[in-house]
């Protein structure tokens, strides 16, 4: 018998592994998109942030939450947020890797959006909080390009690979970040209920200067250099770019009221901000603020899917790693049939989420698939973001009590999981948006259904499921009240089609059986006719 003070039957830490080379789903997606030019870059990034050092940085950034300083020691208003050095080091690595800008810098390269999604997917596994400013900067570029004179000034700053944390005018910085402030306390997702007003300084219209007065309930990453926001003019709700500094170099009237005390995403600052005759420039046509900013919203929603798939992947590999080393009742956990069933089911869920994220990123690589991407993003965001918390709590349970303590990192992943489902439209908003897209863009739903047809004839369960789905869509009664089940089935059909086209047959068949056929509701209810150990091995290779 070992001495009672010996430490044994514990797994080694899952650190110092390459997040790119250990993930065959991501590697295959990058290659399939034509992104082989980025493989060396992604492998180096995966090695860097898979280190013990970066996992520790993620812990520290969350342990030491940002602090708001409204005034300096002398009473001057400063409205600054202080971050732990770990935050700065992580976001610096993300910008070096182009998480915020890769497609805008490498637009001529095939698969640029997929390569960029892969970098984001890896970074979020280490720390998700920095994803907020990086995502908004990535998503802000296509919105700003609708106002060419503003884009000419700002896009070069936003696509720089240099992180410059100094709080100085953007014109003096080596690289900039952009944020977003849309929702208000009385409206939330219903931004048409906003009350913020904008008054033209002289001439009115696109590109002109305005003074904004109002209060924004959520302003993410308030230390960004500028923000896209919404305010009412005489012609209706319009979009504006609000910088932290005025053109003359003085501070803009951007009053931070408080930082939100959030469930998760604690390393990132989310704030309330008051506009008190705050200077901004109109972006896009006056009165067309929502269509203007929707370009930012769609790209942000894409990252909600990538981010959810990312934390699902990290939760799965942590569970697979733990059970590989932990012994109970005479054998390793991973060797026990019921645990194998659970892990194989988690592997299927993780692979389907990853395939969905990368396939949608590929759809953003060219304008030809814009109509498909518009509806598919809303469908996928609803389902993948809904599945993340459910899956992660099951991965946590694979650790037993050890997964419930902060040191395991599973609680942080679990707290992070609901965020993407809320950000840029919660579940009901997404489902209604799918109905709206199908009605306003008549080609969108047929384009989505045509995507499913590419897998037709490869699995009888899938074929029957798609036939039933089309019958659901043909019934026009009570569409709003049925929207969730319709969108869920659209998402599952899309995931199954991707699995059938791009995953090995034994993986795709198990997914179709476990998600589209007769199956239990909890993870670990796959049919015994599938080789659970083989499914698990598919996506848990090359881990320590």
Instruction: Report domain extents, the chain.
Output: 24-158, 174-288, 292-539
Q: Helix, strand or coil for residue 443?
A: coil
CB 99 within 8 Å of CB 138: yes
Long-range contacts of 32-35 (CB under 8 A, 24+ apart): 32/362, 32/502, 33/110, 33/111, 33/113, 33/114, 33/115, 33/358, 33/361, 33/362, 33/365, 34/109, 34/110, 34/111, 35/109, 35/110, 35/111, 35/112, 35/114, 35/115, 35/118
Q: What is the pLDDT of residue 232?
A: 97
186: tokens are 């009385």
Q: Which two tokens stand for residue 125?
A: 């596994």
Pairing of strands 327-328, 331-332: antiparallel
Q: Which homologous superfamily does the CATH classification assign to the domain defined by 292-539?
A: Butyryl-CoA Dehydrogenase, subunit A, domain 3 (1.20.140.10)
Q: Give the model's pLDDT for residue 3.
A: 79
What local confidence, expressed as pLDDT, does residue 76 receive? 95
What span, in angstroms and rounded, lies between the C-alpha atoms of 483 and 510?
A: 27
- Nearest Cα neighbor of 225 from 193, 196, 251, 206 is 251
Provide the token pair at 331. 């054998």
Is the distance from CB of 128 to CB of 60 less than 8 angstroms?
no
In whole angstroms, how far apart are CA 475 and each of 453, 462, 480? 20, 20, 12
Asked if 47 contacts 53 with a C-beta cutoff of 8 angstroms, the reply is no
Tell me yes or no: is domain 174-288 CATH 2.40.110.20: yes
- With contact defined as beta carbons under 8 Å apart, do 221 and 133 qualify? yes
User: How would you write the pLDDT of the chain (544 residues) with one tens digit per residue?
Assistant: 677 888 888 999 999 999 999 999 999 999 999 999 999 999 999 999 999 999 999 999 999 999 999 999 999 999 999 999 999 999 999 999 999 999 999 988 999 999 999 999 999 999 999 999 999 999 999 999 999 999 999 999 999 999 999 999 999 999 999 999 999 998 888 888 899 999 999 999 999 999 999 999 999 899 999 999 999 999 999 999 999 999 999 999 999 999 999 999 999 999 999 999 999 999 999 999 999 998 899 999 999 999 999 999 999 999 999 999 999 999 999 999 999 999 999 999 999 999 999 999 999 987 888 899 999 999 999 999 999 999 999 999 999 999 999 999 999 999 999 999 998 889 999 999 999 999 999 999 999 999 999 999 999 999 999 999 999 999 999 999 999 999 999 999 999 999 999 999 999 999 999 999 988 899 999 999 999 999 998 887 666 5
The pLDDT assigned to 543 comes to 63
pLDDT at site 90: 98
Same fold yes or no, 174-288 and 292-539? no
> What pLDDT score was predicted for residue 55?
97
CA distance 301 to 324: 35
């Amino acid at each position: 018998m070992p001495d009672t003070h010996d430490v044994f039957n514990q797994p080694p830490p899952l650190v110092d592994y390459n997040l790119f080379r250990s993930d065959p789903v991501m590697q295959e997606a990058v290659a399939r998109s034509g992104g082989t030019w980025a493989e060396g870059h992604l492998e180096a990034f995966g090695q860097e942030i898979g280190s013990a050092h970066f996992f520790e940085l993620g812990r520290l950034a969350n342990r030491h939450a940002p602090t708001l300083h409204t005034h300096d020691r002398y009473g001057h208003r400063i409205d600054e947020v202080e971050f732990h050095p770990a935050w700065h080091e992580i976001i610096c690595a993300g910008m070096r890797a182009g998480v915020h800008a890769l497609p805008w810098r490498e637009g001529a390269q095939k698969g640029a959006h997929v390569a960029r999604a892969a970098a984001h997917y890896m970074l979020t596994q280490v720390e998700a909080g920095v994803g907020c400013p990086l995502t908004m900067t990535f998503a802000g570029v296509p919105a700003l390009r609708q106002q060419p004179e503003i884009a000419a000034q700002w896009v070069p700053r936003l696509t720089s690979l240099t992180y410059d944390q100094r709080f100085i005018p953007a014109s003096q910085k080596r690289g900039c970040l952009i944020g977003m402030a849309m929702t208000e306390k009385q409206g939330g997702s219903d931004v048409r209920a906003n009350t913020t007003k904008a008054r033209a300084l002289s001439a009115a219209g696109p590109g002109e200067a305005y003074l904004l007065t109002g209060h924004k309930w959520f302003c993410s990453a308030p230390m960004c250099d500028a923000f896209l926001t919404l305010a009412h003019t005489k012609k209706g709700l319009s979009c504006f770019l609000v910088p932290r500094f005025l053109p003359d170099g003085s501070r803009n009237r951007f009053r931070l009221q408080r930082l939100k005390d959030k469930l998760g995403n604690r390393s990132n600052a989310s704030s309330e901000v008051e506009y008190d005759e705050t200077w901004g420039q109109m972006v896009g046509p006056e009165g067309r603020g929502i269509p203007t900013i929707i370009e930012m919203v769609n790209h942000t929603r894409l990252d909600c899917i990538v981010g959810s798939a990312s934390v699902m992947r990290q939760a799965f590999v942590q569970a697979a790693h733990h059970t590989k080393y932990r012994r109970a009742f005479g054998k390793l956990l991973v060797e026990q049939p019921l645990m194998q069933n659970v892990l194989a089911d988690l592997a299927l869920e993780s692979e389907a989420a990853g395939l969905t994220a990368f396939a949608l990123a590929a759809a953003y690589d060219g304008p030809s698939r814009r109509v498909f991407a518009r509806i598919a993003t809303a469908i996928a965001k609803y389902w993948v973001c809904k599945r993340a918390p459910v899956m992660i709590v099951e991965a946590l349970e694979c650790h037993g009590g050890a997964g419930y303590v902060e040191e395991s990192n599973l609680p942080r992943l679990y707290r992070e999981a609901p965020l993407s489902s809320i950000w840029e439209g919660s579940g009901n908003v997404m489902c209604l948006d799918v109905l709206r897209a199908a009605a306003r863009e008549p080609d969108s739903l047929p384009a989505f259904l045509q995507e499913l047809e590419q897998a037709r004839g490869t699995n009888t369960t899938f074929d029957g499921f798609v036939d039933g789905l089309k019958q659901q869509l043909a019934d026009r009664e009570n569409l709003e009240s049925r929207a969730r089940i319709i969108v869920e089935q659209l998402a599952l059909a899309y995931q199954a089609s991707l699995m059938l086209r791009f995953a090995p047959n034994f993986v795709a068949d198990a997914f179709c059986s476990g998600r589209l056929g007769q199956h239990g509701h909890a993870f670990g209810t796959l049919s015994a006719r599938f080789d659970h150990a083989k499914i698990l091995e598919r996506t848990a290779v090359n881990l320590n």
